[in-house]
Amino acid sequence: MKLDSETILEAALALLDEVGMDKLSTRLLAERLGVQQPALYWHFKNKRALLDAMSGQILRRAHERRLPRDGESWETFLRENAHSFRRALLARRDGARLHAGTEPDPGDLAMVEAQLAAVVERGMPATDAMALMIALGRYTVGCVLEEQAAPDDAAVRQQTLDAAAASRPLLAEAFASYRKAGPDAMFDIGVDLMIEGAKARLAKKESGEPKALRRKPAPRR
């Protein structure tokens, strides 16, 4: 079998799904590929580089809503972008743990610039847009991390906690609503809170500016 970076990534992602992050190692990966460990380092200089490449591969394959559609507002785009990012992370075992702590590859900066430009063109200043995109990205990773870290006895733990909260009316009501909503709806609620907060913050900033200085959306290209 010819050993190249794509072959290594395919095997590494399959191994991740099988054993998870805690047991994933270059030794085990080399055994799976039938090679010696040093052969992997011809393509990835260390394990961190391999993990970063695995994360990038997941996003390239499964993160579908990276740019807005024609006529889409920045609010709608960022909601759909967050949903797409979440689906990509959930598609792989420990996908959030794999992604956490990574930085964009220099080769991905053109896409990041295009995303930022799309939001700016739709009426948000670049610094605000970047802050919101980072906040949504970190929120998404955190939500998926919690989902994927749920122990096998999560349902029993929840029942115990709910029973203990039954005598506390506010907590009991809040817990009941949280359980009924489920992770998909709760994720949407958090995304909406951030986007609506960003809209309110932007409106407040614009209302405080002299009319002549208020920023107009850039013309569509």
So where are the chain's domains?
1-45, 65-213
Lowest mean per-residue pLDDT among 67-71, 74-78, 107-111, 125-129: 107-111
Q: What percent of the chain has pLDDT over 70?
A: 94
Q: How confident is the model at residue 221 (pLDDT cuts 50, 70, 90)?
A: very low
pLDDT of residue 1: 60
Q: How confident is the model at residue 214 (pLDDT cuts 50, 70, 90)?
A: low
Give me the CATH topology for the region 1-45: Arc Repressor Mutant, subunit A (1.10.10)
Task: Provide mean pLDDT across the span 110-130.
Answer: 94
Residue 58: closest CA among 35, 31, 27, 92: 92
Express each pLDDT in 17-41 by its tens digit: 999 999 999 999 999 999 999 999 9
Task: Provide mean pLDDT across the span 60-74.
Answer: 94
> What CATH class has 65-213?
mainly alpha
pLDDT of residue 220: 46
Burial of 95 (0-12, 13-18, 19+ CB in 10 A): buried
CA–CA separation, 115 and 86 (whole Å): 17
Read off φ and ψ for residue 217, nearest 5 degrees.
Answer: -60, 140
